[in-house]
Structure 1
């Protein structure tokens, strides 16, 4: 059963070494993420599953019928692709077997957990495909929620990347409304509103979080959790939201 969730954005700029001189600009976002992780720890889960978007089906081994990619506890990631020789590990201990390298969104999650000195529960990762339908996301969420008595989720994903002229996707007038609806749903733990987010519109607006959020919606069905929105801004023309469900 889902007992808690934290929703965080996944820009590598969250890592101060990657942000370099711009690191102070996201200090309040890092603080909000730390508070969200604290809510997860306070829930005393039996298992923490970290969800994040993946670039494609080749990002790791063991995809299921939906193309989900699993990452075991101890899987490693790095920020070398962003010019920083820094490594992270998903949870404590070494991974068993030949674990894949974490994609950037899950590497950011691993960094957040390391920063919080996470020891509350075992951690595994799940790469969620952008092409997943809402129904596929919901099914994956229900499976996660049923995987232990007390399940917590750390859900990584950005909002639209089209909020300003200088945004990665340039300005799209639909972006602010999409992000506002997503933020309201995340802050209210409104599973129906999250499930209703349009996949094609999300793709047009370069929304990385749509599929992970809809997995969360499936996991939260019937759980009776309440939500809180801790952060909602677009400092680089990309929607960043932090929310907790408990």
Structure 2
């Protein structure tokens, strides 16, 4: 069963060769994300990951990919066992590429990524999380971005609701609050350009399962390591560990 969960964003700027330089905001974000990934690896060397992508939902494992489409010829693999001659794909979804890059940076053996449709309803997300919670996997990487509408220079343009929206997500992550994550409004997410709802609600299904009597009274220790909106996008980094 899942005993460790790491929640991270997945912007390509996490990769130094994609966004070179010494920008302080990028450095702080990378530090938090890499710290969460290394913490996850300390608990398990083989990870399960969950994300959402409209163009390429499905399961991803044992593949080689590339960030060439983001301006840097940086190859990644989802497993240390992928042959060196395996063909590299630029068409892998961004969260899959980031999951592979984090696997390599943390020294984990492998990551299998479940990419869901962004329109997946909350009850289905909760059921997916419940299934993960009782699977053989012990470490879950959750790839989720917040709103992209923080300020007039943000990718989605300004929306005054974005700060409160991301603050509510930060509060839920700080407390491993399954109910708080379940309440994330999919309609509001669409309006605010928040791509992480589905993955976050799957995570809520993982930690919320004990409230339905399946895992007894197991609780979670949660830490919010980072929550900010550099470059107009809400990013959160948190870790949860089962007691």
Whether TM-score is above 0.5 comes out as yes
| Correspondence for 1:143 | 131
| Correspondence for 1:201 | 188
1:23–1:89 distance in 2 versus 1, CA, 3 Å: farther
Stretch of structure 1 that moved more, 206-215 or 222-231: 222-231
| Correspondence for 1:65 | none
1:168-207 correspondence to structure 2 within 5 Å: 168-207=155-194
| Correspondence for 1:70 | 59
Q: TM-score, normalised by structure 2?
A: 0.88
- Residue 13 of structure 1 contacts residue 23 of structure 1 at CA under 8 Å; is this kept in 2? no
- Cα shift readout 1:109-162 (whole Å, capped 9, x = no counterpart): 21112111113xx421110211011011111111112221x5211011110000
Unpaired stretches in structure 1, ≥5 consecutive residues? 60-67
Unpaired stretches in structure 2, ≥5 consecutive residues? 211-217
Do structure 1's residue 211 and structure 2's residue 210 form an aligned pair? no
| Correspondence for 2:4 | 4
* CA RMSD, Structure 1 to Structure 2 (Å): 2.0
1:154 alignment partner, one of 138, 141, 144: 141
Stretch of structure 1 that moved more, 18-27 or 229-238: 18-27
Following the alignment from structure 1 to structure 2, what is the Cα–Cα distance between the partners of residues 123 and 163? 32
**CA-CA distance at 1:99 after TM superposition:** 10
| Correspondence for 1:108 | 98
- Residue 145 of structure 1 contacts residue 219 of structure 1 at CA under 8 Å; is this kept in 2? yes
Q: TM-score, normalised by structure 1?
A: 0.87
| Correspondence for 1:163 | 150
1:69–1:99 distance in 2 versus 1, CA, 3 Å: farther
Following the alignment from structure 1 to structure 2, what is the Cα–Cα distance between the partners of residues 180 and 85? 35
